[in-house]
Amino acid sequence: MKIFNKIQKFLSIITLIFMVACVNKKENSIYDNSEYLEFLKSSKSNSFEIWESYCITCHKSGIDKIGIDQTSYWRNSSKNSLEDLYENVYNGYEGKNGIMPKRGACYECSEQDLKNSIFQLFFLSDQFPNEDN
């Protein structure tokens, strides 16, 4: 009987770890981020201005690298936390698709401006149907 108790205890710990891992994973995605969900309810107005003046040059649909319609890239990128995405946008980086310039070249943008333009990007990209690849 003792062994059954042990197994049961073991199984409940595993279940708990699994549940915590799932919850964390969900919270990490930009699409489940509470700030993103708030953004969806807002008017999105100033983010669109920044998007149109800066980000659109490299991220509008139909652009080879790396337009919002390239959904396999953006669906994958959306799994990052807002903190990681913000850090990459703020500092810039060189990825395999090219150079993401510091702050998307919007040096006067505030933290909130940049976050909103990130939300705008993922919001627009989400309107495109998933690619099969």
Q: How many residues does the chain have?
A: 133
Give the separation between CA 87 and CA 103, rounded to whole angstroms.
9
Region from 3-11, 21-29, 36-44, 103-111 binding ligand HEC, contact rule CB under 6 A:
103-111
Q: Closer to ligand HEC at the Cβ: 34 or 63?
A: 63
Q: Distance (Å, rounded) from C-alpha 82 to C-alpha 60?
A: 21
Closer residue to ligand HEC (CB): 20 or 99: 99
Among 12, 24, 97, 112, binds ligand HEC (CB under 6 A): 97
Instruction: Report yes or no: 51 and 120 within 8 Å, Cβ to Cβ.
Output: yes
Shortest Cβ distance from residue 27 to ligand HEC (Å)?
17
Selected from 28, 29, 46, 80, the binder of ligand HEC by CB under 6 A is 80
How far is Cα 21 from Cα 42, in angstroms, rounded to an integer? 30
Site string for ligand HEC, 51-70 (x = CB under 6 A): ---xx-xxx-----xx----
How far is C-alpha 85 from the geometric centre of its chain's CA atoms? 6
